[in-house]
Structure 1
């Protein structure tokens, strides 16, 4: 198995991104961390360097909806770390409202961030990987991508299904090249984004789920549902449940 030494993570100032940064730092990897909140990234960098002085951690403020800036930042961090060999497209939004209730603004923001901005990140990463004929692209989707979901989850689920299809298309395009593309489908993991879902018995603590997420990424499969239990069987059920049952979710 190839060891990826230089890893870029977007959306790294909180949630899954922040957790993955800590896990990869503990494994001795060099990190390029991006998010809008530079103060939180700087504090995270200082924490990681104090705990793991042998690694390099570079940080950049980045709004992934600023597409030209995405390309500039990925290229700059690639040069700073001496070549990125894994890019984790993680930045995303979870807000939304039922379609047709006057909140197109919120739904558009989620669609733009979760899909269009992810496309920009994939384009920037794949330009590097195609040029050197090597690399690992990781796209963070969601178990919500398994089906179209009602109410506040409609746009979120659609955007995560879209980004999963995007990753699969890229995977098909480089199938015979030494470039790996992984789609991760996280289940309910306790983060800032899922804080309001605290009543569900399926919510996994971040301290247990994020190490599983990183282990799945390290295996470099085409796809992985994390945590595998109960989300592998639940994913199958979600794909095949009658729409009337699905309509009661969310």
Structure 2
């Protein structure tokens, strides 16, 4: 399996994107990091360059809902590094509201960010990979993609399920025809700045442990992976097979 030396991560200014950047930099990889908050990106760049002098770090501002900007930023990273070996489509939005409660605005924003913007990122990444005849596309989905969920998770779960289906379709198109690999990652509960503001969730792991597990899974380049594997692979099996009435009680 080739070493993916140059890695592009979206949504890299906080949360899982920031955590994965730290883990990959520790491995000596070169990083193309983008997000809306450039102050956070610049601080992260300075930190990583100080800790890991061999890693080359480049940052750019990116709002993934500006679809033209997605293509521009990805192409500019490609021009700067020469090759992009892996793209991690990580940028996403966690908010949502129950359907029919008057918050279509929140659900629309969630759908646009988690699916339409993800589609733009996949398109931009695959254009680069097809042109260079190689690469690894990684999509950060969610365990919520396993089933339709209620209340505030309804739209979020639907977008993550749609994203997983999109990645599977890209994988089907690429397999056997190109050396491009496509991986769908389903994280369980991993602590981030957002989650730390609420009550502790059972089965939640700390950010560093969770991001280390994410990077280890990504490095294996599987078609699909639940992270951390235990207990989330078993929970995924339960969520897919259990009656909806049971799943609804815990969503």
Same fold (TM over 0.5): yes
CA change 1:210–1:198 in 2 (3 A) is farther
- Work out whether residues 145 and 160 of structure 1, in 8 Å CA contact, stay in contact via their aligned partners in 2: yes
- Work out whether residues 94 and 193 of structure 1, in 8 Å CA contact, stay in contact via their aligned partners in 2: no
Q: Which residue of 2 aligns with 1:114?
A: 114
User: Where in structure 1 are there 5+ consecutive unaligned residues?
Assistant: none
Structure 1 position 54, deviation (Å)? 1.4
- What CA distance in whole angstroms lies between the structure 2 residues aligned with 1:82 and 1:198? 45
- Work out whether residues 190 and 198 of structure 1, in 8 Å CA contact, stay in contact via their aligned partners in 2: no
Q: Which residue of 1 aligns with 2:236?
A: 235
Structure 1 position 108, deviation (Å)? 0.5
Count the aligned residue pairs.
Answer: 250
Q: Which residue of 2 aligns with 1:214?
A: 215
Q: Which residue of 1 aligns with 2:153?
A: 153
- What CA distance in whole angstroms lies between the structure 2 residues aligned with 1:196 and 1:234? 25
Q: Which residue of 2 aligns with 1:74?
A: 74
Where in structure 2 are the equivalents of 1:96-245 lying within 5 Å?
96-176=96-176, 177-196=178-197, 198-245=199-246
Structure 1 position 194, deviation (Å)? 2.7
Q: RMSD of aligned C-alpha atoms?
A: 0.9
- What CA distance in whole angstroms lies between the structure 1 residues aligned with 2:99 and 2:194? 20
CA-to-aligned-CA distance 1:64-108 (integer Å, 9 cap, x gap): 000000000000011111210100000000000000000000000
Q: Which residue of 1 aligns with 2:92?
A: 92
- What CA distance in whole angstroms lies between the structure 2 residues aligned with 1:28 and 1:133? 24
What is the DSSP-based 3-state SS (H/G/I as helix, E as strand, rest coil) of the residue aligned with 1:124? helix
Q: After superposing the two structures, state which structure 1 stretch, 237-246 or 86-95, moved more.
A: 237-246
Q: Which residue of 2 aligns with 1:60?
A: 60
TM-score in terms of structure 1 length: 0.98
Structure 1 position 196, deviation (Å)? 4.9
TM-score in terms of structure 2 length: 0.98
